[in-house]
Amino acid sequence: MWVEPPGYFSRAPQLRETKFAFTNYGVSLGLQAANVWLGRVERLNAFFEDWRSGDEYDREAITWVMACTSHLPDAFLSVVNDRLKR
């Protein structure tokens, strides 16, 4: 479901033009946790820096929280790893 160019994951294979920042940031965090496709992580972070949907999701705080976790995954993943060790 990777769309190249410009570099994001579509909502579904048949919906290549449908994109959501929130879900892409979540995929990004998972990829970084698994240490795979880091080039795609960089591409999707760059794409969503400027892209705006124009709907309420642009204003929803959770989208921006997910953006932070995508850009600063170690801050989030270290907390998760600490909890898993307990």
Number of domains in the chain: 1
pTM (2 d.p.):
0.85
In the Cβ-directed half-sphere of 72, how many Cα atoms lie within 13 Å? 6
User: Which CA distances in Å does 64 have to 43, 52, 61?
Assistant: 17, 12, 5
Report the greatest alpha carbon distance in the chain: 42
Number of H helices, E strands in the chain: 4, 2
Predicted confidence (pLDDT) per residue in 24-75, tens digit: 999 999 999 999 999 999 999 999 999 998 888 777 888 999 999 999 998 8
State which residues form the domain around 33: 2-11+19-85
Total number of residues shown for the chain: 86
Quick one: average pLDDT of 76-80? 76
In Å, how far from its chain's centre is CA 1? 14
Q: Determine the residue type at 76.
A: F
